[in-house]
Amino acid sequence: MRAILFILAFLFPSLLATAQEGTIVLKNEKTTLKTGDFYIISVKDERKDTTNIGYIRSATTKKKTPVQFEGGIAAALYTYFTNNIEQNPRGTPLELAILDMNVTEKKKKATITAKLGFRLRGGNDPKSILQTQSFEIETAPTPEAIEKALRKQTERSTTQFDKWFTENQEKILAKPSITVTVTVATSIKDKNIIMHTKRKKLTYSNFQGRSKKFSKWGAETASGIYWETKALTIDNKTFLKLKIGSSFDKKHSWFKKTQKNPYVLDHEQLHFDVTSYITCEFIKAVEAYPFTPEHYLKELEKLHKQYNEKLRKMQDDYDGQTDHGLVKDKQAEWRVKINELMAAQDCYK
């Protein structure tokens, strides 16, 4: 299940200062708060520096004194939720993440900033953040004043999260799904690329690459399976849009001047048609594939690799059986074969 992280304006325990200066101890006092559909199963302190939550000036020594919870902030928060808030044990288990918490003193005022997050148990993906709210409170620079300010914010933020979770839990807890839509790419922005269409045939002018003068062949076609993706995820639902087509690269395709004749051009056209046929087969495979929301890109790449291999083999078979077009009766057989395959597919109208 995908991790969900909800950042609250601030959620913090009811606190009480102890005799030890700078140490804040959880006040073990029941609140009137009740959680509707969740309970806190664990708390993690994910700040880079977990040694304290900031500094205030000592009332006795006038020196900066670190402020910290007795036993650490994670333990204090867990105790707070366990002992002081009536939670629903049959609700969704959530993990509380301490993302930021800082207390600073300046001009006899303490500034408290904090950011906490709720996520589904077992999740730690930062991309799962749904909402971010930050807060800043000014109060007197004493543990007692800090405790009072945080306690008020606790009740406000707990109520806020509980309301949000109740309203959104159905879509949050929904099983991730993916919907794939495929369109045939008949044109792209790159002017050096020609996309296959049923009506458009190659011409000599399309072969703009430098010819290989030491090659014994008269021409070469650079073609392949083109694809691009756009994905959007909303409420655990991923919508994947794919554009797939057969591409011809003008800058890497070439023709020797001495070999420009309709027979050689037809041989090269069939190379492009082979690519277009396999591309259509790839499109059908994509449309039928059971993609998963978590791994669809890897699955798509694996499928693309499989059909690239099929394309390579069919191109090799075509050149091998026709001896690159020199065996005219085999060339004629392949022309009939490819024309029939292209006529039977429904990718190119």
SS (H, E, C) the chain: CCCCEEEECCCCCCEEECCCCCEEEECCCCCCCECCCEEEEEEEECCCCCCCCEEEECCCCCCEEECEECCCHHHHHHHHHHHHCECCCCCEEEEEEEEEEEEEEECCEEEEEEEEEEEECCCCCHHHEEECCCEEEEECCCHHHHHHHHHHHHHHHHHHHHHHHHHHHHHHCCCCEEEEEEEECCCCCCCCEEECCCCCCCCHHHCCCCCCCCCCCCEECCEEEEEEEEEEEECCEEEEEEEEEEEEEHHHCEECHHHCCHHHHHHHHHHHHHHHHHHHHHHHHHHHCCCCCCCHHHHHHHHHHHHHHHHHHHHHHHHHHHCCCCCHHHHHHHHHHHHHHHHHCCCCC
Residue 105 is encoded by which pair of tokens?
Answer: 């003193």
Position 127 scores a pLDDT of 54
Q: What's the average model confidence in pLDDT over 16-44?
A: 77
Distance CA 156, CA 265 (A): 75
Please work out, in degrees rounded to the nearest 5, the angle formed at the alpha carbon of residue 193 by the alpha carbons of 188 and 197: 70
pLDDT at 176: 85
Q: Which two tokens stand for residue 97?
A: 């993440």
- Mean pLDDT value of segment 248-272: 95
Give CA–CA dist 279/243, Å, rounded. Answer: 11
Can you give the pLDDT at residue 260?
Answer: 93
For residue 236, CA distances in Å to 173, 182, 332 come to: 8, 21, 53
Q: What is the pLDDT of residue 165?
A: 87
In the block, tokens 């105790």 appear at: 79
Q: Model's pTM, two decimal places?
A: 0.61
Please give the radius of gyration of the chain, using alpha carbons only, rounded to the nearest integer: 33
Share of the chain above pLDDT 90, in %: 48
Q: Which range among 68-82, 240-254, 292-306, 308-322 shows the weakest confidence by mean pLDDT?
A: 68-82
pLDDT at 15 over 50: no
Structure confidence by residue, pLDDT tens digits, 177-220: 999 999 999 999 999 999 999 888 999 999 999 998 788 889 99
State how far the Cα of 74 lies from the Cα of 50, in Å rounded to an integer: 10
